[in-house]
C-alpha cells in the first residue's frame, strides 16, 4: 500500500479546517440570536454581551416599572457623550451614582443600558 | 494552696478580705493577676468550678423577648474562665472614634478617650496570648496567601483581627482563662480563689453608700457572708446587672440603680449571615480573608471595615465584613459579572464569588434591657428577662458600608457585590449574635446617664466597682474581650491607689 503524499495530506487538513470555519460562521449567521434594528443600536454597540445585558436589564426593570426607553436613551446619550463607556462609568462610580439590578450593585448608566436592551427584546 | 471550695465553708462563717472580686472570667482573673504584686488581700469568688456543671449553669436560665436571641443559659459559661471557655478568640482594639461623643448618636461618649486604655493594651494582649500588637500594621506587610483586595479610594479599608492562641495547647484553641491561668493564680500570695461560691446579694450597711457584706450560697445549701472593704463585680454584663437589681432590700430599685439605668442599654454584636455576595473578577480572593494565617508571631485574619472618617461623615456606627465561603453564581449573577466586568474593560471570566458575614455595632438603646422576673433559681435569686431590640437604622448603617465597599471595588475594577438583605424580615431571617454582652452598667461621669463613673466605680457607692464590658457606654465593632481586659487593668491601677 502506498503512503499518501505529504502535500495531499496537508492540503486535505487545510481544506477541512476551512470548510469547518465556513460552516461555523454560517451557522452563527443563520441560527445565532439576531436583534432587529432599533433606534438605540448606537447604545447597544457599547455592550459587549447583549444577551447577558438583557438578563441584567430584566432584573432592573422588575423594580423600575416606570422605565421608558426613549427617555432613558436620551439620558444615557447625554451622560455618555463622546466618552468611552468605561470612562463614563468610572465618573459615576466616583460620584456614587450606583443602582441595583437584581440587587447587584452597578453604575446607573450600565443598568440603564441593560434595561434598554431588555426592553428592546 | 489558695484554691478553696465554698462547699467546705461552714454556714454562718464571715470572711473579711480587703477586696472581693465577684466572678472568675477574663475580667476577674486579669484583675486578680494585676493585683498580684500588691499587699491587698483579695478573695475571688467564682460560682462554678474548674469545669462545666449543669446544675451551676442552670442558675443562668432566664427569659428572652423581642428579637430572637440565645437562651440566657446558653450565651454564657458559668465556671472559672467564664466566657473565654467558649470564645472564638477574635481580638482587636476599639477605634479612637468609638470613645467619642457624637452629636448624631444619642448616649455616645466615654468619659475618656482611647489614650487612657492604650498603655494597657500590651499587657491585655499578653494575657489573651494574641502575639504582638500588630493589627492594621499588617496591611503594610507582604502577607502570606496573596495580595489584599484592591479598593478604590473611599470609606472602607482592609482591617485586621488577631486571634488568641492558647500557648502550649495542642488544639490551638483560644486561651481559656480558667485553665490557662489557674497555676498563676495559685502562685499569688495574697489571693484566695473560692470555687462554687455564688454571691446572691450585695447588702448595704446603715450608710447606704457602702456595701457592708455579700451573701454567698452554695448549691449544697451552705450560706455564709463576706464583708470586704471593697467589691468588684466582674460577673459579666448580664449577671452583674442581675446582682445589682436583685439586691433590692434597702435600695428598692437595686444597688446603684437610683436612676433606673442598671440593666438598660444591653448590647451585643449582631452578626447576620450571608449579608452580601462579593465577586472578585480576577479569581480567588487572598487566603487571609478566608482563614487565619500566621505572620510575625500573630495569628491574624483580614476583614473590611469602615474608616473613622466614613463613620463620621455618614453618621454610621462600626461594622466589619468577613469573607465566608465560596458560592456559585446563578444565571443573573453570571450575567451581572459578565456585563459589568466587560463594561469596565476587565476580564471576569474567572470570577470567584463569596458570601459575606459581618459584625454590626448597635446604637445604644435603653429599651434593650434586663429586668427581674418573679421566677427564682435554685438559690432563690430572681431570674432575668432580656428584651432584645435592633433598629432598622442599625441594618441601614451596615448596608451603607456594604454599598461603599461595592463602590470601591468597582472603582478599582476588582469586583462587585450583591446586597443580599434589604427588608427587616430578610435581615432577621439570618440573624445571629456574637455573645458579646455589654453595656448594662454603662460608664458616664453623670449619675443620671451612667451606672459607673470613669473609674468604673458605681455612682453613689463608695466601695463598689464594676469590671468588664458591662461598663462600655458604646460598643464599637471590635470583639470586647481584649478591650474589657485593658479597661480592667486600668481599674486595677485605680484600685492600687484606693488601697494605698
CA–CA dist B250, B244 (Å, integer): 12
User: Within 13 A of A75's CA, how many CA atoms are on the CB side?
Assistant: 14
A52/B339 Cβ within 8 A? yes
Coil, strand or helix at B481: helix
CB contacts, 8 Å: B406 with chain A: 98, 105
DSSP state, residue B12 = T
Mean of pLDDT values over B240-262: 97
Residues 11-70 of A with CB under 8 A from B: 46-49, 51-53, 55-56, 59
* Whole-angstrom distance, CA of residue B177 vs CA of residue B236: 14
Query: B156, B321, B333, B336: best mutation site toward chain A, by most A Cβ within 10 Å?
Result: B336
Chain segment A48-59, per-residue pLDDT in tens: 899 999 999 999
Q: Which of B410, B418, B422 sits opposite A107 (nearest CB)?
A: B410
Closest-CA residue of A relative to B422 is A103
Residue whose grid cell is 489614650: B115
Q: Which residue in B has a C-alpha nearest to residue A104's C-alpha?
A: B418
DSSP H or E stretch at residue A19: helix A6-31
Residues of B in Cβ contact (< 8 Å) with A102: 332, 336, 418
Nearest to B416 among A47, A106, A114 (CB): A106
Residue of A nearest to B412 (CA): A90
Backbone φ, ψ for residue B170 (5° rounding): -65, -25
What distances in angstroms separate CA B400 from CA B119, B316, B395, B408, one per listed residue?
Answer: 34, 8, 9, 12
The closest CB to that of A100, out of B340, B411, B419, belongs to B419
Question: Which long-range contacts (C-beta less than 8 Å, at least 24 apart) are formed by B216-222?
Answer: B216/B6, B216/B9, B216/B45, B217/B379, B217/B380, B218/B6, B218/B7, B218/B9, B219/B55, B219/B56, B219/B378, B219/B379, B220/B7, B221/B11, B222/B6, B222/B7, B222/B9, B222/B10, B222/B11
Residue range B2-26, pLDDT digits in tens = 999 999 999 999 999 999 999 999 9
Lowest mean pLDDT, pick from A19-28, B23-32, B250-259, B455-464? A19-28
Residues near B53 by beta carbon (within 8 Å), at least 6 away in sequence: B78, B79
Question: Which residues touch B341 (CB under 8 Å, ≥6 apart)?
Answer: B281, B347, B348, B351, B413
CA atoms within 13 A on the CB side of A76: 27
Report d(CA B411, CA B423) in Å as an integer: 27
CB B323 within 8 A of CB B289: yes
Residue from B111, B43, B41, B46 nearest B82 by CA: B46
Q: At what angle do helices B392-412 and A85-95 cross, to 10 degrees?
A: 150
Alpha-helical (H) ranges within B247-391 are 287-290, 308-314, 331-343
pLDDT at A19: 66
Cell of B495: 484600685
Q: How far apart are the first and last CA of chain B?
A: 27
Report the residue of B340, B344, B412, B421 to disrupt the A interface, i.e. the one with the largest count of A CBs within 10 Å: B340
Tell me how long chain A is.
121
Spatial contact of B326 and B352, defined as CB atoms under 8 Å apart: yes
Q: Which residue of B has its CA nearest to A98?
A: B407
CATH no. of B1-129+174-268+367-390+436-500: 3.50.50.60
**Spatial distance between the Cα atoms of B171 and B272, rounded to a whole number of angstroms:** 28
Do strands B3-5 and B415-419 pair parallel, antiparallel, or not at all (unpaired)? unpaired
DSSP 8-state secondary structure symbol assigned to residue A39: T
Query: Alpha-carbon distance B458 to B256, whole Å?
Result: 6
Position A10 scores a pLDDT of 73
B84-104: per-residue pLDDT in tens?
Answer: 999 999 999 999 999 999 999
Q: Are the Cβ atoms of A55 and B332 closer than 8 angstroms?
A: yes
Question: Quick check: A115 contacting B, CB < 8 Å?
Answer: no
Tens-place pLDDT, residues B39-57:
999 999 999 999 999 999 9
Q: How many percent of chain A have pLDDT more than 70?
A: 81
In the DSSP assignment, the letter for residue B269 is -
Is A86 at the interface with chain B, CB within 8 A?
A: yes
Q: Indicate the pTM of the whole model.
A: 0.93
What average pLDDT score do residues B260-266 get? 98
For residue A111, list its beta bridge partners.
none
DSSP designation for B458: B
Instruction: Identify the CA nearest to A43 among candidates A98, A10, A80.
Output: A80
Of B336, B344, B406, the CB nearest to A89: B344
Chain A: give the shortest CA distance to residue B347, in Å. 12
What is the mean predicted confidence (pLDDT) over B437-459?
98
Stretch 340-379 of chain B: residues touching chain A, C-beta under 8 Å: 340, 342-345
Say whether pLDDT at B496 is over 70: yes
The answer to whether B8 and B217 have CB atoms below 8 angstroms apart is no
Within an 8 Å CB–CB cutoff, is residue B336 touching chain A? Answer: yes
Q: Do A102 and B338 touch (CB under 8 A)?
A: no
Give A45→chain B minimum CA distance, Å: 11
CA-based nearest distance A84→chain B, Å: 10
Report the alpha-carbon distance of residue B377 to residue A44 in Å, rounded: 71
Give the Cα separation of B110 and B99 in Å (integer): 5
| Look-up of cell digits 484606693 | B498
How far apart are alpha carbons B487 and B110 in whole angstroms?
Answer: 12
**Hey, where are the domains in chain B?**
1-129+174-268+367-390+436-500, 130-163+270-360+396-430
Render pLDDT for A66-110 as a digit per residue (tens, 0 to 9). Answer: 999 999 999 999 999 999 999 999 999 999 999 999 999 999 999
Grid coordinates given for A120:
428592546
Q: What percent of chain B stands above pLDDT 70?
A: 100
C-alpha cell at B11: 454556714
pLDDT over 70 at A24, yes or no: no
Position B31 scores a pLDDT of 98
pLDDT at position A22: 61
Average pLDDT value over all residues in chain B = 97
pLDDT of residue B20: 98
User: How many CB atoms lie under 10 A from the CB of residue B290?
Assistant: 18
Touching A: B residues 392-411, CB under 8 Å:
403, 406-407, 410-411
Residues of B in contact with A93 (CB under 8 A): 152, 407, 410-411
Angle at B358 between CA B357 and CA B360, to 5 degrees: 155
Residue B134, SS3? coil
Instruction: Mark yes or no for CB contact A105/B417 under 8 Å.
Output: yes
A–B CB contacts, 8 A cutoff, strictly below:
81
| Cβ–Cβ below 8 Å for B345 and A93 | no
**CB atoms A86 and B403 under 8 Å:** no
CA distance A13 to chain B (A): 32
Prediction ipTM score? 0.92
In a 10 Å sphere around its CB, with 0-12 CB exposed, 13-18 middle and 19+ buried, how is residue B471 labelled?
buried
Tens digit of each residue's pLDDT (9 = 90 or more) over B173-207: 999 999 999 999 999 999 999 999 999 999 999 99
Give the end-to-end CA distance of chain A in Å, rounded to a whole number: 60
Non-local CB neighbours of B363 within 8 Å, separated by 6+ positions: B105, B106, B317, B391, B393, B394
Q: What is the pLDDT of residue A3?
A: 63
Which of A52, A94, A105 is the closest to B416 by Cβ?
A: A105
Q: Do B332 and A96 touch (CB under 8 A)?
A: no
Minimal Cβ distance to A56: which of B152, B336, B420: B336
How high is the pLDDT of residue B169? 82
Q: CB-CB: which of B334, B407, B416 is closest to A96?
A: B407
For residues B96 and B100, what is the distance between their CA atoms, to the nearest angstrom?
7
Please list every residue in chain A whose beta carbon sits closer than 8 Å to the beta carbon of residue B399.
none
In percent, the amount of chain B with pLDDT more than 90 equals 98
Shortest distance, CA A1 to any CA of chain B (angstroms): 50
A91 touches chain B (CB under 8 A): no
Amino acid at each position: 500500500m502506498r503512503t499518501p503524499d505529504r502535500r495531499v495530506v496537508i492540503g486535505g487538513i487545510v481544506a477541512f479546517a476551512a470548510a469547518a470555519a465556513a460552516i461555523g460562521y454560517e451557522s452563527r449567521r443563520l441560527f445565532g440570536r439576531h436583534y432587529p434594528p432599533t433606534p438605540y443600536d448606537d447604545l447597544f454597540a457599547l455592550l459587549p454581551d447583549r444577551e447577558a445585558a438583557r438578563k441584567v436589564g430584566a432584573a432592573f426593570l422588575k423594580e423600575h416599572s416606570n422605565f421608558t426607553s426613549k427617555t432613558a436613551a436620551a439620558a444615557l446619550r447625554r451622560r455618555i457623550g463622546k466618552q468611552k463607556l468605561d470612562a463614563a462609568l468610572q465618573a459615576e462610580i466616583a460620584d456614587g451614582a450606583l443602582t441595583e439590578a437584581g440587587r447587584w450593585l452597578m453604575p446607573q448608566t450600565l443598568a440603564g443600558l441593560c434595561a434598554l436592551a431588555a426592553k428592546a427584546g | 494552696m489558695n484554691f478553696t471550695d465554698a462547699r467546705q465553708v461552714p454556714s454562718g462563717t464571715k470572711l473579711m478580705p480587703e477586696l472581693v472580686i465577684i466572678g472568675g472570667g477574663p475580667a476577674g482573673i486579669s484583675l486578680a493577676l494585676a493585683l498580684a504584686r500588691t499587699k491587698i488581700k483579695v478573695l475571688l469568688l467564682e460560682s462554678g468550678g474548674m469545669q462545666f456543671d449543669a446544675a451551676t449553669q442552670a442558675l443562668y436560665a432566664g427569659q428572652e423577648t423581642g428579637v430572637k436571641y440565645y437562651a440566657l443559659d446558653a450565651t454564657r459559661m458559668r465556671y472559672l474562665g467564664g466566657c473565654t471557655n467558649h470564645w472564638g478568640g477574635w481580638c482587636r482594639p476599639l477605634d479612637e472614634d468609638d470613645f467619642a461623643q457624637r452629636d448624631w448618636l444619642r448616649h455616645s461618649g466615654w468619659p475618656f478617650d482611647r489614650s487612657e486604655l492604650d498603655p494597657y493594651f500590651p499587657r491585655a494582649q499578653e494575657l489573651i496570648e494574641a502575639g504582638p500588637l500588630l493589627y492594621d500594621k499588617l496591611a503594610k506587610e507582604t502577607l502570606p496567601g496573596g495580595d489584599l483586595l484592591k479598593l478604590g479610594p473611599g470609606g472602607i479599608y482592609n482591617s485586621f483581627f488577631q486571634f488568641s492562641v492558647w500557648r502550649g495547647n495542642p488544639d490551638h484553641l483560644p486561651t481559656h482563662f480558667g485553665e490557662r491561668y489557674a497555676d498563676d493564680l495559685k502562685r499569688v500570695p495574697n489571693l484566695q480563689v473560692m470555687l462554687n461560691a455564688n454571691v446572691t446579694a450585695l447588702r448595704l450597711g446603715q450608710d447606704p453608700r457602702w456595701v457592708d457584706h455579700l451573701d454567698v450560697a452554695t448549691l449544697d445549701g451552705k450560706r455564709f457572708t463576706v464583708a470586704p472593704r471593697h467589691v468588684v463585680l466582674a460577673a459579666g454584663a448580664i449577671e452583674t446587672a442581675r446582682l445589682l437589681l436583685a439586691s433590692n432590700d434597702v435600695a428598692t430599685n437595686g444597688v446603684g440603680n437610683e436612676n433606673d439605668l442598671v440593666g438598660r442599654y444591653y448590647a451585643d454584636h449582631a452578626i447576620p449571615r450571608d449579608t452580601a455576595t462579593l465577586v472578585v473578577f480576577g479569581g480567588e480572593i487572598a487566603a487571609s480573608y478566608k482563614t487565619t494565617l500566621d505572620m510575625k508571631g500573630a495569628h491574624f485574619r483580614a476583614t473590611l471595615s469602615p474608616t473613622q472618617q466614613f463613620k463620621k461623615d455618614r453618621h454610621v456606627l462600626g461594622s466589619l465584613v468577613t469573607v465566608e465561603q465560596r458560592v456559585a453564581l446563578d444565571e443573573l449573577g453570571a450575567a451581572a459579572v459578565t456585563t459589568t466586568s466587560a463594561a469596565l474593560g476587565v476580564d471576569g471570566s474567572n470570577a470567584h464569588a463569596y458570601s459575606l458575614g459581618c459584625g454590626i455595632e448597635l446604637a445604644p438603646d435603653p429599651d434593650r434591657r434586663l429586668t427581674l422576673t418573679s421566677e427564682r433559681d435554685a438559690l432563690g435569686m430572681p431570674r432575668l428577662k432580656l428584651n432584645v431590640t435592633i433598629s432598622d437604622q442599625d441594618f441601614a448603617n451596615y448596608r451603607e458600608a456594604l454599598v461603599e465597599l461595592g463602590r470601591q471595588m468597582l472603582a478599582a475594577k476588582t469586583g462587585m457585590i450583591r446586597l443580599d438583605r434589604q427588608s427587616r424580615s430578610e435581615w432577621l431571617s439570618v440573624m445571629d449574635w456574637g455573645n458579646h454582652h455589654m453595656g448594662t452598667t454603662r460608664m458616664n461621669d453623670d449619675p443620671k446617664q451612667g451606672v459607673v463613673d470613669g473609674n468604673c466605680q458605681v455612682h453613689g457607692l463608695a466601695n463598689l466597682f464594676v469590671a468588664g464590658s458591662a461598663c462600655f457606654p458604646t460598643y464599637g465593632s471590635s470583639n470586647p474581650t481584649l478591650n474589657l481586659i485593658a479597661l480592667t487593668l486600668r481599674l486595677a491601677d485605680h484600685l492600687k491607689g484606693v488601697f494605698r
